[in-house]
Amino acid sequence: MSSDGESVLPPITEKPVVPTISLHKLPKHTLPTFFGDKIELQTFWDSFESAVHLNISLSDVLKFTYLHSLVNGAAQSCIAGFQLTNANYIKAVELLQKRFDQHDQIADALIQLPSPSNNAECPQTFSDRLETLIMGQESLGQSNETYRDDLVPYIRERTSPAS
């Protein structure tokens, strides 16, 4: 109450002032392009699957159109013979997954991974890449026990001073 006996609070009939919240649109999500690198398949597929493959409002031919626009290189060559039809969409997806299957990704990637040189950054780059490959395998449900026996000698060979 004020000194003259009047209430300083607004009357109950008034609505409280609520600040307006401005909703911002999220930026448009750009799907990655898949070139056929086995290491990148899971990243590509997870993005494509959530945005396109599982989108029930899209026809299979439209999904295939999106897929076709997002593959290049070896992946594009893999499905180049398929005409853009509803029936060929699932066939193309199955062929891509079969061709670029990741179960042997660590062995394949290690063969292509250059040995670290004496450059101070190279051992760290090698280590980072190796860790990424291993974590990728684990995200696919493969425990390190399935590839550890092959991996350890290969790492020793790559990191020995004679490499």
Write down which residue in 55, 73, 99 finishes a domain.
99
Residues 132 and 113 in one domain: yes
pLDDT in tens, 97-143: 989 876 665 556 666 666 666 655 577 777 777 777 777 666 666 66
Q: Is residue 74 part of a domain?
A: yes
In a domain, residue 134? The reply is yes
Distance CA 80, CA 74 (A): 10
* Residue 62, number of CB atoms within 10 A of its CB: 15
Q: At a CB cut-off of 8 Å and minimum separation 6, what does 61 contact?
A: 84, 85, 86, 89
Non-local (6+) Cβ contacts of 155 within 8 A are 110, 130
Q: Does 83 lie in the same domain as 45?
A: yes
pLDDT tens per residue across span 57-105: 999 999 999 999 999 999 999 999 999 999 999 999 999 998 987 666 5
Cβ 82 vs Cβ 92: under 8 Å? yes
